Amino acid sequence: MMTPQQIAQQIEPLTLEERLGWISLNYPTASFSTSFGKEDQAITHAIGSASLPLRVFTLDTGRLFEETHALAAITRERYHLEIQTFFPETQQVEALVTAKGPTSFYESVEARLECCRIRKVEPLRRALQGTAAWITGMRRGQSENRAHLPFAEWDAEHELVKIHPLLDWDDARLDAYLQAQNVPVNRLHAKGYPSIGCAPCTRPVPQGQDPRAGRWWWEDTTKKECGLHLHQGENA
């Protein structure tokens, strides 16, 4: 079994398509999680265009934008991909909303993380069962919290390796790839949404600000995570 450092050494010199091909050969049970952002659409295009045998899944929190659902439908049709969808457990959502209302996440960081745990983290746990490698669309330039990520890392929570094939791509390179390949993207990007999550927790970002400033904007700007991606002991 290769270490994350060995995986990074193998994939760093490769193109995106070669990186994904390498992952599919070395990790037959690898899974790619998409939230239909620009990064995820680039990876989906590479997987679909090359017919790579990589499982693709998404988390539907029940609070996504209409534009995100529309893009999901376009993407499935364009690439003829089966995108497995995981929803939160009904009883957990019902209990949360009954006890605390539909917008408790605005009240505190703890309340917001509780909502994220029910709507994202728990479904992700189910989605990753049986997976040896988790492919993500994370890039170093997305936020301060991701600036020093390695290409591959061990995820102790899920007991698998996480691989970030777009880690070293900047905004210009990503946008150029999407344009050159005519990849469909979320209509909200053109309206000032560089990072798109749940509708109640995402707003447009003025040009020049941190791309993730529109996510959970009422909280500390140094932490813009929901609990899906933990790095080196972080818990949020």
Contact 125/117 with Cβ under 8 angstroms?
Answer: no
pLDDT value, residue 212:
79
Rounded-to-integer distance, Cα 133 and Cα 49, Å? 21
Does the residue 76 lie in any domain? yes
16, 51, 38: which is closest to 166 by C-alpha?
16
- Across all residues in the chain, what is the average pLDDT? 91
pLDDT value, residue 217:
86
* Residues whose CB is less than 8 angstroms from the CB of residue 149 and which lie 6 or more positions away in sequence, other chains included: 138, 140, 164, 167, 231
pLDDT value, residue 222:
56
**Residue 223 binned pLDDT confidence (cut-offs 50, 70, 90):** low
**Residue 53 binned pLDDT confidence (cut-offs 50, 70, 90):** very high
* Domain total of the chain: 1
* H, E, C per residue of the chain: CCCHHHHHHHHCCCCHHHHHHHHHHHCCCCEEECCCCHHHHHHHHHHHHCCCCCEEEEECCCCECHHHHHHHHHHHHHHCCCEEEECCCHHHHHHHHHHHCCCHHHCCHHHHHHHHHHHHHHHHHHHCCCCCEEECCCCHHHCHHHCCCCCEEEECCCCEEEECCCCCCCHHHHHHHHHHCCCCCCHHHHHCCCCCCEHHHECCCCCCCCCCCCECCCCCCCCCCCCCCCCCCCCC
pLDDT exceeds cutoff 70 at 228: no
116 as an active site residue: the answer is: no
Domain that holds residue 83: 4-201
Q: What is the mean pLDDT of residues 95-116?
A: 95
pLDDT value, residue 126:
97
Rounded-to-integer distance, Cα 55 and Cα 115, Å? 26
pLDDT value, residue 226:
56
* Both structure tokens of 34: 């998409």
Residue entry with tokens 């900047």:
170
Q: What is the CA radius of gyration of the chain?
A: 17
Contact 87/114 with Cβ under 8 angstroms?
Answer: no
pLDDT exceeds cutoff 70 at 233: no
Does the residue 235 lie in any domain? no
Which residues are 135's β-sheet partners?
32, 163
pLDDT exceeds cutoff 70 at 235: no
CATH code, domain with 61: 3.40.50.620
pLDDT value, residue 143:
67
Which residues are 85's β-sheet partners?
58
Q: What is the mean pLDDT of residues 38-63?
A: 97
pLDDT value, residue 227:
52
For residue 25, the tally of other CB atoms under 10 A from its CB is 11
What confidence tens digit (pLDDT) does each residue in 142-201 have?
A: 767 777 789 999 999 999 999 999 999 999 999 999 999 999 999 999 999 998 999 999
Does the residue 228 lie in any domain? no
